[in-house]
């Protein structure tokens, strides 16, 4: 499975439909592990199938933010840093 870590996605199905998350990894069942730093913390990410999300960034059109780069490199990231990165992404997107 491809490495989706650091991609920004929008939930396309479920209770959280329309919410923006960052992919923090994958699990054994090939589900994406999503966190937003607020409702879904890095310590307990949400598992979601790839077909249930809309990719807003990818390996070609990545989001260049220091917190996302830390995540991609495997360094420790805080929920606060993740919230700030996603807030900056939302501001840029609008």
The H or E element containing residue 10 is strand 8-11
> Is 16's pLDDT higher than 80?
yes
pLDDT digits (tens, 9 = 90+) for 45-92: 999 999 999 999 877 777 889 999 999 999 999 999 999 999 999 998
Characterize 76-85 residue by residue with b for buried, 16 or more Cβ atoms within 10 angstroms of its Cβ, and e for exposed.
ebeeebbbeb
- Here the tokens at position 34 are 């999503």
pLDDT value of position 89: 93
Reported pTM? 0.90
For residue 35, which of 51, 53, 59, 62 has the smallest C-alpha distance?
Answer: 53
Cβ-based neighbours of 88, under 8 Å, separated by 6 or more:
65
Q: How many CA atoms lie less than 13 Å away from 6 in the CB half-sphere? A: 20
């Amino acid at each position: 499975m491809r490495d989706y870590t650091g991609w920004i996605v929008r939930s396309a199905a479920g209770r959280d439909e329309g919410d923006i998350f960052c992919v923090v990894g994958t699990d054994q069942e090939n589900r994406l592990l999503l966190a937003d730093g607020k409702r879904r913390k890095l310590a307990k990410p949400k598992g979601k199938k790839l077909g249930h999300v809309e990719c807003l960034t990818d390996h070609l059109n990545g989001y260049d933010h220091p917190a996302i780069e830390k995540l991609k490199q495997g360094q420790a990231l805080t929920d606060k840093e993740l919230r700030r990165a996603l807030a900056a992404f939302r501001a840029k997107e609008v």
